Structure 1
């Protein structure tokens, strides 16, 4: 892509585009949608039944034991802040702010929603939302419905993902399931009971249909790995936590880059750059911000505390299957270079779309995908990453066919964006 503007500049250009009177209403709505997504970290929701290990998983991501186990705390949002602050929304809708995090002080209060700001490095890249209910089925369903509308990546915590959980999960839209992970928490307990491998095997077909992938994590071990000045990398890896954290951040980065690719294409299509428009003086309010979350969560009761379980000896968690490693580096390098050359020229063409230009541009994108299919189909190295990428190319080819049928400037720009995403996917696989 020839536009090497920084991420901050892209956001500023979108802000400028929104105040341009020449922009059509439909384009303005899409620009606002892009700006909302790019102006905040990727939103990761931690879901699951009561006592499923959600709080410990959150502690693992934060790198500290902040959230107490089996507490009566409500749904809680974790965001980046240079200093620790706590915003408490009571059941009556009143809101109080505190300049320190004191969770024990909330023990006897009727709190509906909690927002914590703290300087945890991971919160610069993702926001966390731990969704809590009192265990009633109807409330559980409502909480999941509420959360998924505010979620980019979902983590469903469980030990066996039984029928009742599957029923609730079926309410989640398919678009989110592609960005969802099933997390078997308390994996050390399951391993000690000699049922972990069986659970993983039994869930294989379900995960293939309902989730991106499955991870088994000994959450207590993962949290203990962060105790002290340095992370115990060996302990963190053995817990399964390192693999999950790495994949979530990788997934978040991939989605973020896709959003920026879409923003670049949008700005090229509407010629809305910072040199042609006036930049706004204030940051726009996000459509789905914490105030809205707090107001809607005010009716969500908190769970009752549960008895502390007996300690279980630490048990190494078996490594879960990960994305196949790129062994045929030469093939991926050649394909990436091809897409870079082709992508630059196609971006130039997309910048000057007009009458009669969309169809030839889509055809060039189709030819590019077909070239990649031929290239990867000739690979006989046995590289699993190559075989997996052929499936992704097949999906891209099907999408290109639909874009040819639709025709027009919009589908043409989408076709170019799809090629850019394929290139991004290959680069991330090579870097993994």
Structure 2
């Protein structure tokens, strides 16, 4: 079955579980969240102080002149739509629709918020929220708190990321910081002044822990790389830094989608019996002349109760060995430990369509050395070993599980904790060289081991399932770092 078909099946099964009431309320809410991640565009927010190039970057990311130069607008959200229109929220709470979109008309009605619905290819993958903040520090904090609740990936635009900006960013939750980029906009101006490299070196020491990456971008040059006829000057796009940023965004988009697929698949396996009965077609009645088919024996009450499986955190039920064996088939995805290879570069045409947000890996040639930090050779080797180690351990778990009998759930938890601790030890022994990528990987492994310990303490019925999901996510994290 193809990956696309598999995703379609997962979404259909989640829908079925929600609509038929097979999922209890807490699980149904989780299923809705997975569906949102799989079906809806990722919510990307562009933040920063006034005058840092947010509007120019918004235009670049959407591939259109969403915010015309010289017109001051409030915070706006650019989303996909069947037709181009603006929905303006006014100060009295009413809405005014402007169709087609006219920036002058929008500014004239003095809205407090604008939702732009546009037919743009980029908006199939992302929506873009440009956050406009007032002059007072209290206003800015409120604006960031409001935006954080509506954000999956954040971009902070800056030229210096000074103390005031650092204080504002410190108020953001870790969930946002784990999916955030610092963009040094107007990088061409900084470079012409001879301060760009020193600025990047300083920020590498002060901001690296709070962002997934620091990307200097000549935003006007990035916009200029797109010609009016829709073609793209790929060399100009790359040298501007814009292509590297798009590649980094797409990696997080794909990681989030894959994580939702993994966790949704595990959730569905817990309810597979009930879902199979709900999805199975009703058999056609036999012909009139045929001998009536005997009625099937009613299912025992125990099986009926099993079909009503509730969230394991609100209702406890002993998990059967067969259930766990099926859950461990996720180990099939990690059987072969192959080093991550970069795709061969495709022939570059002279002109190509404007950059669209498409899920695709970025090659090393896509970014300049100032935008991409190569992994330390020892770190790369450690990550490759980690991928192989997790793959082999996943296969061992699958092979040993049938021998465990009723002790299988506890055994799985114990084994996953040992695996995570082993990774912590392996990465900790490499702490001799100063590599931020290694430090982040070690922190990730430590957090995973800590989470597994909590699962062991809680002793919930679904802890074994969640532990397997943690291991799979760890492997994907190492793979993504190798591919970056």
Equivalent residue in structure 2 for 1:399, among 451, 469, 472: 451
Q: 1:277 to 1:114 in 2, by over 3 A?
A: farther
User: Following superposition of structure 1 onto structure 2, how do residues 360-399 of structure 1 map, counting pairs within 5 Å?
Assistant: 360-369=411-420, 391=442, 392-399=444-451
Equivalent residue in structure 1 for 2:373, among 322, 339, 343: 322
Bigger mean CA deviation after superposition, 154-163 or 82-91: 82-91
- Deviation of 1:388 after TM superposition, in Å, equals 6.6
SS in 1 for 2:276: coil
Q: 1:198 to 1:329 in 2, by over 3 A?
A: closer
CA distance in 1, matches of 2:212, 2:232: 27
Q: Deviations over 1:29-76 (max 9, x none)?
A: 333333343331211110111111101111111223331235221211
Partner residue in 2 for 1:359:
410
Partner residue in 1 for 2:268:
267
TM-score of the two chains, using structure 2 as the length reference? 0.70
CA distance in 1, matches of 2:3, 2:246: 31
Bigger mean CA deviation after superposition, 187-196 or 44-53: 187-196
Partner residue in 1 for 2:193:
193
Q: 1:201 to 1:119 in 2, by over 3 A?
A: same
- Deviation of 1:85 after TM superposition, in Å, equals 3.0
SS in 2 for 1:88: strand
- Deviation of 1:86 after TM superposition, in Å, equals 2.5
User: Following superposition of structure 1 onto structure 2, how do residues 12-411 of structure 1 map, counting pairs within 5 Å?
Assistant: 12-228=12-228, 229-271=230-272, 274-277=275-278, 319-322=370-373, 324=375, 336=387, 339=390, 343=394, 356-369=407-420, 391=442, 392-411=444-463
Q: Deviations over 1:201-228 (max 9, x none)?
A: 2222321332222111111111111124
- Deviation of 1:394 after TM superposition, in Å, equals 4.5
Q: Deviations over 1:157-188 (max 9, x none)?
A: 11111222222212111221111111111111
**Structure with bigger gyration radius:** 2
- Would the aligned equivalents of 1:349 and 1:361 in 2 still touch at CA under 8 Å? no
TM-score of the two chains, using structure 1 as the length reference? 0.77
Q: 1:374 to 1:142 in 2, by over 3 A?
A: closer
CA distance in 2, matches of 1:338, 1:133: 47
CA distance in 2, matches of 1:116, 1:248: 21
2:477 corresponds to 1:425: yes
- Which consecutive unaligned segments of at least 5 residues does structure 2 have? 281-366
Q: Deviations over 1:392-427 (max 9, x none)?
A: 445433433333333333332221111211232344
Bigger mean CA deviation after superposition, 159-168 or 75-84: 75-84
- Would the aligned equivalents of 2:98 and 2:106 in 1 still touch at CA under 8 Å? no
- Would the aligned equivalents of 2:37 and 2:256 in 1 still touch at CA under 8 Å? no
- Deviation of 1:274 after TM superposition, in Å, equals 4.9
- Which consecutive unaligned segments of at least 5 residues does structure 1 have? 280-315
SS in 2 for 1:6: helix
Q: Deviations over 1:112-132 (max 9, x none)?
A: 222222233222211111111
